[in-house]
């Protein structure tokens, strides 16, 4: 896989439903071509938490708790051989696995 960029989550900006009622999380981020963030840029990233982990039975406050756990973490966006973009924690775990391993709330 080819690393596209590195992402540092700065803060949780919003948790809101999309037009179908699915909760989307938006983060303020810093991103860079290198893991040292020597020439970083600011931006935002939005995704549906349900695209990453099973959120059935979870409400707005639950998704917010999970999203807050991503603040200050560093992730890598990579493109696979089929052109799909995957997100990994800097430690190497896919985002879903990292969330499950590092969010005690999900393991109750």
Task: Kindly list the distances between the CA atom of residue 55 and the CA atoms of 12, 61, 66, 94, 107, in Å, as whole numbers in the listed order.
Answer: 18, 12, 10, 17, 13
Q: Which pLDDT band holds residue 107 (cuts at 50, 70, 90)? A: low
Q: Is residue 2 scored above 90 in pLDDT?
A: no
* 19-67 per-position pLDDT tens digit: 998 999 999 999 999 989 999 999 999 999 999 998 888 899 999 999 9
């Amino acid at each position: 896989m080819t690393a596209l960029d590195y992402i540092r989550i700065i803060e949780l900006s919003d948790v809101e439903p999309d037009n179908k009622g699915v909760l989307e999380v938006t983060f303020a981020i810093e991103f860079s071509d290198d893991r040292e963030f020597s020439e970083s840029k600011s931006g935002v990233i939005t995704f549906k938490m349900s695209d990453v982990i099973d959120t059935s039975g979870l409400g707005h406050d639950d998704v917010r708790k999970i999203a807050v756990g991503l603040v200050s973490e560093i992730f890598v966006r990579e493109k696979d051989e089929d052109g799909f973009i995957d997100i990994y924690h800097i430690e190497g775990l896919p985002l879903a696995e990292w969330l499950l391993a590092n969010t005690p709330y999900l393991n109750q």
